Structure 1
Amino acid sequence: MTTPRSGVRREARAAAVIALAVLLVSALGGVLWGLVAPSEQLLVVEPGRGGLLTGESMHQFDGVAMFVCFGAVLGVLSAVAAWRWRAVRGPLLQVGLFAGSVVGAVLMARVGELVAEWHHPRPHDPPVGQIVELPIEVGSWLALIIQPLIASLLVLFLAALSSSEDLGTGTGTGATAETGSFDPAGAFGPYGTASQPAGGAPMPYRSYEPASEAGSGSLPETRPSR
C-alpha cells in the first residue's frame, strides 16, 4: 500500500527528473538556435569602429524572434510530455516543469550565444574597409519568459480540461487501495444510487417511514411526530 509520504517523494523525484529533462532539451535548443541565428555585418570605417550595412539592423530582431519561437516550441513539447506522465500529475509536476523551464530558458540563451560566437567569431583589430560579422545576442530578458509561461499555462489548461478530480492518476475518491483502479461498487449502490453512510445506518426519514418493498407502489402512510 502506498503511503502519502511515499507518494510525495515519488512525485518530488518525478519533478526533479522533469526539470533535468527540460534543462537538457533547452541546452540542445540553444545549440540549434546559435547555429541558425543570423549575424550582423558591419563595415569597419576606422580602427575599432564600424557601421551597420543597410538592412543588417533587422537581424537583431530576427535573432530574438527565432529565440522566442524556439522557447515557445520547447514550452509546448515539455508541457505535453510532462502531462503524459499520468501517475505524477499534480502541483509538484507543475513546480518542476516551471523551475526547469525558467532555468532552461536562461541556459538556452547562454549556450546559444556561445555557439553563435563560436560560429561567427569576433575579429581582432580588423583593417578599415573590411566587412565583419558579429554574433547575435538575446539582449532582452522578456524573451526568456516565453518558455516557462507557455509551459505553465498549457499544464493548467490541460488540468482544467481533465474530467476527474485526481487528474487521471487513479489515486482519488473511488479508487481501491490495492490496485488504484476505480471501484464503482464502493461509490454506488446496486441500483445506481449512492450507498449508505459509513456504519450501515439507515438514512433518516424524520416523521415518515419508507414504503415496504412488497407494496403496490402507493404512497407511504404518515405518522405524526411525537
Structure 2
Amino acid sequence: MKVHCSFLAVFALLALASILVTSAYDPSPLQDTCVAINDPKTGIFVNGKLCKDPKFVTADDFFYSGLNIPRDTSNPVGSVVTPVNVDQIPGLNTMGISLVRIDYAPYGGLNAPHTHPRTTEILIVLEGTLYVGFVTSNPDNRLISKVLYPGDVFVFPIGLIHFQQNVGKTNVVAFAGLSSQNPGVITIANAVFGSNPPINPDVLTRAFQLDNNVVKYLQSRFGWKNN
C-alpha cells in the first residue's frame, strides 16, 4: 500500500511539473492562423485565444513595414529597441516568435541590463562593433561575454540578465529573434529604482549596500524607457 501511494505521489508530481513547464511557453498552434483581435464581437475562440474569423484574415494581419529606418538614439542610454511582436503583427498570435531591431549610438550606446521572462533571444549584428553578455543564475553569477562584429551571432538564454553596448565609433544596428510572440522585458535599473510606487529606500539601501541618499538620488533618475 505504501509503495502504491508513493508511486501515485511521484506520478502526481511529474504530471504537475509537466503542466508547469508546458505553461511556461507560448501555446502550440492547433490551426493555420489565430490572428489576435481586441473586439470579442468579431472573433471566435480557437486554441484558447480570441481570434479573427479565418474568413476575414488578410495579408496585412501578417505584415509590418519600417525596420529599415534608423531610429533616434538620443536618450540617456543611447539605444532604441523597435519591437515586432504580436502587438505589431496580430498574425503572430500562437506562433511563438517575434523580432526586434536595436539601434545603438556611437561611443557607448547601451541596451541596459535586462531580462525577458518568456523567451530565449538570438541576436545578429549588421553594422558596427557590439560588446554583449549575460550573467548566469545564483550562486555563480558568472559573466559570459564577447565582442561581436558584422555577421556575428550571439544567444541569450531565457530569463537571464543580459546587455549589449556599442564599443565602436560608429552606429550599431542589430536584429534579434525571440522565441515568444510577446517576450516581455524587465530592465533591471528601471524596475528596481524606477518602480511605481517606489520601493522603500531602506530596502534598496540594504540590498545594494549604498547610502540612503544615493538610493534616493538613483530613484529620482530612473523611469524612462528605450523600448
The TM-score bracket by the shorter chain reads under 0.3
Where relative contact order (Cα < 8 A, 6+ residues apart) is larger, the structure is: 1
TM-score normalised according to structure 2 size: 0.21
Structure number with higher helix proportion: 1
User: Which structure's residues are more often strand, by fraction?
Assistant: 2
